[in-house]
Amino acid sequence: MAEAMIKGLLASGSFKKKDIILSDVSAERLSYLSSQYGVTTTSDNKETVKTSDIVIFSVKPQVIPAVCGEVRNVATTDKLYVSIAAGIRHSFIKTIVGREIRLARVMPNTPSLVLEGASCVYFGDGFSAEEEDMVLGILGSLGKAFRVESEDLMDAVTALSGSGPAFVSIFIEALCDGAVKMGLSRELATDLAAQTVLGTSKMIQEGIGHPAEIKDMVTSPGGTTASGIHSLERGGFRAAVISAVEAAARRSAELSEEED
């Protein structure tokens, strides 16, 4: 995800190579990122925090305690902090750092790797409107950025946009399996299914219609789509998707409690 951010920031022109410094435990990874993007790299997390105005914790949740504990003496209150560690609450990070820092909690998703991500952010106390816009701009370079007003909503965000790519991928795979069963090659089926999902999403984003309206546009009386929708409803498709999002959200909340 950190690499996706570098790619997005440089492509957007909002930051230059000299503006970005990143640290990692892997020398091989640092060498690759330095040669690929021309950014400054170091293996010293403290140096990264000390020399940065905006600090992004782009690590897995289980690494947060070690990273935040390592930099607590240099994590001063004049900086902005962004965490993309899933399930890690503001209070947890602030307790480890040991001071009231300005912290934004973000849930990005894997389409950020192709700069089509959906990132959602909750801002803690202390951010000015200009600083919030700056963080949203950084996230916007990865695709689209949204905000929520309550940290409790981040579990639902995690379930929808965080887990969503897996749910959508299963749906695309199922579409392909059905088409292969009916005689299409796997390659053609995959291309058609992926483009169909992409195109439908773009129609919704561009305001052509609500999902229900687009469904009605495609569904003619007595036609093939109506028969297919009947089969989906008979199989409990909607209920299964709703239950999947609910289960993922509940698990996100459980993981947050376990981390606390």
Confidence (pTM): 0.87
Question: What pLDDT, on a 0 to 100 scale, did the predictor assign at position 12?
Answer: 83
Rounded CA-CA distance 106/85 in Å is 8
From residue 82, alpha-carbon distances to 10, 40, 247 in Å are 18, 19, 27
Rounded CA-CA distance 28/45 in Å is 16
Question: CA torsion sign, 11 to 107 to 114 to 32?
Answer: positive
Under the phi-then-psi rule, with left for phi > 0, alpha for psi from -120 to 50, and beta for the rest, what region is 222?
left
In what helix (H) or strand (E) does residue 119 lie, and over which residues does it extend?
strand 117-123
CATH 3.40.50.720 residue ranges of the chain are: 2-154
CATH 1.10.3730.10 residue ranges of the chain are: 164-257
Rounded CA-CA distance 140/99 in Å is 28
**pLDDT by residue, tens only, the chain of 260 residues:** 888 888 888 888 888 999 999 999 999 999 999 999 999 999 999 999 999 999 999 998 889 999 999 999 999 999 999 999 988 998 999 999 999 999 999 999 989 888 899 999 999 999 999 999 999 999 998 899 999 999 999 999 999 999 999 999 999 999 999 999 999 999 999 999 999 999 999 999 999 999 999 999 999 999 999 999 999 999 999 999 999 999 999 998 888 777 66
CATH H-level, domain 2-154: superfamily: NAD(P)-binding Rossmann-like Domain (3.40.50.720)
Pick the CATH number of 164-257 from 3.30.420.40, 3.90.1150.10, 1.20.1250.20, 1.10.3730.10: 1.10.3730.10
Question: What pLDDT, on a 0 to 100 scale, did the predictor assign at position 260?
Answer: 60
Under the phi-then-psi rule, with left for phi > 0, alpha for psi from -120 to 50, and beta for the rest, what region is 217?
alpha
